[in-house]
């Protein structure tokens, strides 16, 4: 089988105005695509056309008010919050990014791919049910999870290794015992959530796990935690599919993050998760880009990540 790669020119529409410089800009994806296209496995990747998402599906994750804010941004420039600007066509990028997951899930169910990576923007894991924040408009991985549930998946594991805590994804599934949310992130750090005491609520207690780490954590520590804590947690939950919120802003060269993972480190972390997925969920792993703001390190890390996905497909 194959590895899926989702990319769309529409992802470049968001914040395309050079008068509004921003770390989260379209050059990030262009650099990743340039590098992927040079890889020897690029022609082997399946590249499904992104489907259109129904507003009914998005409404199962986000509030009417949230969608209205996006509706009101059409054709305009402004800010959703202090660090989340929008331009005239940002809403198109946001909806297409949120459609990536369902496109990937359909390809998985049709047997066309075994795993996949969505090279998308804007990222999603800070977007809460009713709040646009932290560069994130719609919660892409949450929409994908909801779609998997609609398609009959009973247990979904979300692993979030972005340097920031995915407050939005955690909030959305905090009381859902069928979705395990595990985040490993720098703390104290934006958005200041993700303490180890945050473990879920109600019937969801025990299916949220936070691993806050001090700044300057290096590869070996991440690898140790992945082997001794992340993998056993996945094995115990025994999901049918693993989703990754793959941010690469814990890279040592990232201008926003304060961690010390290298490109080789991300390659190793990907391999650990794929080895685990092989015996837990028949290798089903769908990964979604989140952060990563040093463009050379981001593109190299994304290429290393996709190369491992491809080697397991
Ligand atoms: Zn981040």
Whether residue 35 contacts residue 299, with contact meaning beta carbons closer than 8 Å, is answered with yes
Among candidate residues 14, 66, 125, 126, the one labeled active-site is: 126
Q: Please give the pLDDT value at position 22.
A: 93
Question: Distance from the CA of 153 to the center of ligand 1, in angstroms?
Answer: 27
Segment holding 169, helix H or strand E:
helix 167-172
Question: Distance from the CA of 152 to the center of ligand 1, in angstroms?
Answer: 30
pLDDT for 76-134, tens place per residue?
999 999 999 999 999 999 999 999 999 999 999 999 999 999 999 999 999 999 999 99
Question: Distance from the CA of 127 to the center of ligand 1, in angstroms?
Answer: 12
CA distances for 156 relative to 142, 160, 166, 178, 226, angstroms: 11, 13, 16, 6, 18
Active site residue 62: no
- Positions of the chain with pLDDT lower than 50, given as ranges: none
Question: Distance from the CA of 263 to the center of ligand 1, in angstroms?
Answer: 16
Question: Distance from the CA of 249 to the center of ligand 1, in angstroms?
Answer: 6
Which tokens in the block code for residue 236?
């115990």
Q: Please give the pLDDT value at position 17.
A: 67
Question: Distance from the CA of 56 to the center of ligand 1, in angstroms?
Answer: 28
Whether residue 23 contacts residue 256, with contact meaning beta carbons closer than 8 Å, is answered with yes
Strand order across the 113-118 sheet: 2-6, 113-118, 285-289, 241-246, 156-160, 179-186, 208-213
Segment holding 114, helix H or strand E:
strand 113-118
N residues, the chain = 313
Neighbours of ion ligand 1 (CB under 5 A): 162, 164, 247, 249, 291
Which backbone phi and psi does 24 adopt, to 5 degrees? -90, 85
Question: Distance from the CA of 85 to the center of ligand 1, in angstroms?
Answer: 16
Q: Please give the pLDDT value at position 15.
A: 83
Question: Distance from the CA of 212 to the center of ligand 1, in angstroms?
Answer: 14
Question: Distance from the CA of 230 to the center of ligand 1, in angstroms?
Answer: 19
pTM for the whole structure? 0.98
Residues 6+ apart with CB under 8 A from 24: 15, 121, 122, 123, 135, 291, 293
């Amino acid at each position: 089988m194959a590895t899926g790669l989702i990319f769309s020119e529409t992802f470049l529409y968001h914040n395309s105005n050079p008068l509004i410089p921003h770390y989260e800009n379209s050059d990030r994806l262009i650099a990743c695509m340039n590098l992927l296209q040079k890889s020897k496995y690029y022609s082997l990747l399946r590249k499904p056309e992104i489907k259109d998402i129904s507003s009914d599906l998005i409404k199962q994750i986000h509030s009417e008010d949230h969608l209205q804010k996006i509706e009101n941004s059409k054709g305009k420039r402004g800010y959703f919050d202090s660090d989340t600007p929008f331009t005239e066509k940002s809403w198109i990028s946001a909806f297409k990014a949120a459609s990536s997951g369902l496109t990937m899930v359909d390809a998985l169910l049709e047997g066309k791919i075994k795993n996949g990576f969505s090279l998308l923007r804007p990222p999603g894991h800070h977007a809460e049910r009713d709040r646009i924040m932290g560069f994130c408009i719609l919660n892409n991985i949450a929409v994908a999870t909801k779609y998997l549930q609609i398609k009959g998946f009973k247990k979904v594991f979300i692993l979030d290794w972005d340097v920031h805590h995915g407050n939005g994804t955690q909030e959305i599934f905090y009381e859902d015992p069928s979705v395990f949310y595990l985040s490993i992130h720098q703390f104290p750090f934006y958005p200041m959530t993700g303490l180890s005491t945050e473990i879920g609520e109600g019937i969801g207690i025990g299916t949220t796990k936070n691993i806050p780490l001090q700044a300057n954590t290096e590869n070996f520590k991440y690898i140790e935690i992945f082997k001794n804590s992340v993998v056993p947690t996945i094995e115990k939950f025994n999901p049918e599919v693993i989703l990754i919120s793959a941010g690469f802003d814990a890279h040592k060269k990232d201008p926003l993050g304060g961690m010390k993972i290298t490109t080789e480190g991300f390659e190793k972390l990907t391999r650990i998760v794929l080895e685990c997925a092989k015996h837990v969920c028949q290798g089903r792993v769908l990964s979604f880009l989140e952060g990563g703001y040093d463009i050379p390190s981001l593109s190299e890390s994304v290429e290393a990540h996709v190369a491992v996905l491809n080697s397991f497909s």
